[in-house]
Amino acid sequence: MPQIQQLPAHIADLIAAGEVVERPASVCKELLENALDAGASAVSVELEKGGLTYLRVTDNGCGMAADQLPTAFLRHATSKLRTASDLAAIHTLGFRGEALAAISAVSRLDVFSREPSSDAGARLHLEGGVPGEVTAAGCPVGTTICVRDLFYNTPARMKFMKKDSAEGAAASAVVTQLALSHPDVSFKLLRDGAEVLHTPGNGELLPAVYAALGREFALSLLPVSGSNGDVKVSGFVTKPLAGHGTRARQLFFVNGRLVKSQLLTAAVEEGYRNRLLKGKFPGCVLHITLPADAVDVNVHPAKTVVKFVSDKSVFDAVYHTVTSALDEEGRPPKPAEKPFFQAMTAAEFRARPDAPAPKNAVEIPAGRAIGSAPARTYTPAPVPAPVPAAPVLEVRDVAPEPGKPFTAPAPRPGTVYHITPPAAAAASEPEPMPEPEPEQQAIEMPDAPAREEAPWRIAGEVLKTYIICEDGDGAVWLIDKHAAHERVRFDALKASPVPPMEQQLLTPAAVTLSGEEYGAVLENLPLLERCGFRCEDFGDGTVLVRALPDDVPAAEAASTLEEMAQKLLLQRADPETLRDELLHTIACKSAIKAGMTSDVTELAALVRRVQSGEIRYCPHGRPVAAKLTRYELEKMFKRA
Ligand code: ADP
Ligand code: MG
């Protein structure tokens, strides 16, 4: 019968050490966390050969008394837990009193430490965890721990080490992450003698991001900040044009700890929906803080998994913080008061004492009205009702069908319904009619208090594609009219709870598709109908299009359906994304085209939306406008 024996202490220590210390990066993490726990305001890390031969962490924290040094290296020795109730902290903060014991067990280690109250420091050397004598040593206040020859006594572990460069990179990543989670601490990292990171530790995140992740990344960021109840979000996200090829530049810190979280990733990416080029991912450095009992962070060195008590409130906090920053981006700074159309209803606005006599009709000059069927006359509805939030440009004629009771269409953002007589029935309709579009009223009333900023002057259009204008600050803007209009159309389509207005084709268009496309279309007939396309199976790979959105040219029926079929094929994912994709196609097909002659009123409407900051990118994420400052122009002509 085999003899049962207790493992010799040093074997037990080595086994335990294997769990805590996997590679130089984990040593780095433990030592840095100790330094931060010790209240350091500056820490430095030096690595040689990826940290395997030499890894030194120096801090200016509270230090340790000479007589405490050997104790710190005993297993389960910690100054951070005193009562059983602190035990909960083991899970959340990882105080296990094992790090120093484990690291010293698998290396040759020197510690130098001095408390602020002490005139001199002390030094201790440990070899494979076995301590020597504590001796006096001249050293500054704080602690320096120098780890040499990591895993010299555990060759099996040593075999698992990657190349020095890979180990060094992993250790650097740890320093970077901690630097980003502690902007109030100055971090310095030297690799093989060269300084690769140095953060100022002035409490501001951006300089830390700049130092840790580089100038280019830092310059591509927008600040964000927001909260949802107890959940606070702050930090930076990349501007939509600065999308990355991978998610590597998405860093989330929950209560100061770096975590990986699909929920947080999804919340950020959802915020960028329709703003990023395909295949690009946003980058971010986001700090999420919430009460300790609302989150469970498992801090095993290898795992940074986080669980939230309320996923939804965290998702919403991040999503809304990100979207509001993206919406705000590039918008001209607003005065504190709300614009009049948000502060009062149109009825109140008309009733104000200084209101000029109302005009009932705004003539929209001939030409294709932006985003609309070719309706021309705009008559403000007589019923006072709340103003739709989004400024609207569409005007639609709605006539009751003879012999049928008239039902007003559900109000769609972005649309003004013009009811042609007989419309008496509308008065008894429970559904309030949307109010006239406030900006259009403002056209009629130049002295209305609506404009904080004079409209940009439109200098003209070039290449039948770009609108050139001049803003109030003397900068020149070039606006891609197709991209801008596509965005306007897309936003209106997306916001609408009802399908776009249909046009029936007198002769249905027969569209022959590839086998796959055909299948995809037939599977998605209801979704297509939600997008204004009424189609039916005509057999043998052919689909009949009976109706399509009224602003997609009928001649484009086949090409539009083909494009949508492609999207249905590629993106069988979630229905909302799919709908967005289809609406992209419709927006693109219905938007004014580059090369097409446009009416100046159309251009003015687009310019207004660019000026207000409402549109920045087309639905594919391409910019809608480019700005040339006076200075840039002057430089171009060598005037500056
Ligand atoms: P834990 O951090 O879980 O307490 P460690 O083994 O990492 O366990 O450290 C043991 C103890 O040594 C700590 O509780 C702390 O009192 C002390 N210590 C470690 N590093 C430092 C440091 N850099 N400055 C001051 N005290 C330290
Ligand atoms: Mg520790």
Q: Which of 20, 31, 37 most suits a substitution to test ligand 1, by most atoms within 8 Å of the C-beta?
A: 37
- At 435, the pLDDT band (50, 70, 90 cuts) reads very low
Residue 168 has pLDDT above 50, yes or no: yes
| Spacing, Cα 19 to ligand 1 middle (Å) | 18
Range in 173-177, 293-297, 420-424 the model is least confident about: 420-424
pLDDT for res 85: 57
Q: What's the gap in Å between 77 CA and the centre of ligand 2?
A: 10
Using alpha carbons, select from 490, 483, 481 the residue that is nearest to residue 604: 481
| Ligand of minimum distance to the alpha carbon of 33 | 2
pLDDT of res. 221: 93
Compute how many other C-beta atoms are within 10 angstroms of the C-beta atom of residue 587.
Answer: 26
The β-bridge relationship of strands 221-228 and 194-198 is unpaired
Q: Ligand 1 test: best mutation among 26, 31, 34, most atoms within 8 Å of CB?
A: 34
Mean pLDDT of the chain: 79
Given the DSSP bridges, would you call strands 54-59 and 42-48 parallel, antiparallel or unpaired? Answer: antiparallel
- The CA angle 577-495-340, to the nearest 5 degrees, is 145
Instruction: Compute the distance from residue 483 Cα to the ligand 1 centre, in Å.
Output: 58
Residue with tokens 């999804």: 266
Higher pLDDT, 224 or 408: 224
Whole-number CA gyration radius for the chain: 33
Please tell me if the CB atom of residue 70 comes closer than 6 angstroms to any atom of ligand 1: no
105-109, 292-296, 628-632: least confidently modelled range: 292-296
Per-residue pLDDT tens digits for 304-361: 778 898 999 999 999 999 999 998 875 665 544 443 333 344 444 445 454 444 333 3
pLDDT at 242: 84
Closest atom, ligand 1, to C-alpha of 57: 23
pLDDT at position 83 is 62
pLDDT at residue 94 in the model: 52
Checking if the pLDDT of 534 tops 70, the result is yes
Q: Is the pLDDT of residue 374 over 80?
A: no
| CB of 99 closer than 6 angstroms to any ligand 1 atom | yes
Q: Does residue 298 have a pLDDT over 90?
A: no
What SS3 class is residue 173? helix
pLDDT at 61: 96
65 CB-contact burial (10 Å; exposed 0-12 / middle 13-18 / buried 19+): middle
3-state SS record for 469-530: EECCCCCEEEEEHHHHHHHHHHHHHHHCCCCCCEEEEEEEEEEECCHHHHHHHHHCHHHHHH
Q: Phi and psi dihedrals of 324, rounded to 5?
A: -70, -35
> Which residue, by CA, sits nearest to atom 7 of ligand 1?
99
- Whether the upstream peptide bond of residue 422 has omega within 30° of 0, thus cis, is yes
Secondary structure class of 241 (helix, strand, coil): helix
Beta-bridge partner residues of 59: 43, 143
The pLDDT of residue 571 is 65
Q: What is the value of pTM for the model shown?
A: 0.58
Ligand at shortest distance from the CA of 102: 1
What six digits make up the tokens of 278? 């395909």
Main-chain phi, psi angles of 3, to 5 degrees: -80, 135
For position 280, what pLDDT does the model report? 84
Mean pLDDT of 32-61: 95
The percentage of the chain sitting over the pLDDT mark of 70, rounded to a whole number, equals: 77
How many C-beta atoms surround the C-beta of residue 4 within 10 A? 5
Can you tell me the mean pLDDT for 361-384? 36
Closest-lying ligand to the alpha carbon of 77? 1
Query: Which token pair is 463?
Result: 């290449």
* 60-83 mean pLDDT: 86
Q: Is the pLDDT confidence value at 64 over 80?
A: yes
Q: Which of 30, 32, 71, 79 to mutate to test the pocket of ligand 1 (most atoms within 8 A of CB)?
A: 79
Most confident of 85-89, 350-354, 430-434, 482-486: 482-486
DSSP 10-79: HHHHHHHHHHH-SSHHHHHHHHHHHHHHTT-SEEEEEEEGGGTSEEEEEE-S----GGGHHHHTSTT--S
pLDDT band of residue 171 (cuts 50, 70, 90) is very high
Instruction: Answer with the residue of higher pLDDT: 350 or 464.
Output: 464
Give the Å distances, CA to CA, from 473 to 455, 476, 629: 12, 9, 9
**What value does the mean pLDDT take over residues 186-210?**
93
Most confident of 78-82, 138-142, 325-329, 535-539: 138-142
Res. 173: pLDDT tops 50: yes
Mean pLDDT, residues 255-273:
91
Of all protein residues, whose CA lies closest to atom 27 belonging to ligand 1?
Answer: 34
Q: Is 80 in the pocket of ligand 1 (CB under 6 A)?
A: yes
Q: Which residue has the higher pLDDT, 436 or 178?
A: 178
Decide: 340 and 449 in contact? Cβ < 8 Å: yes
- Who wins on pLDDT, 520 or 41? 41
Lowest mean pLDDT among 101-110, 134-143, 402-411: 402-411
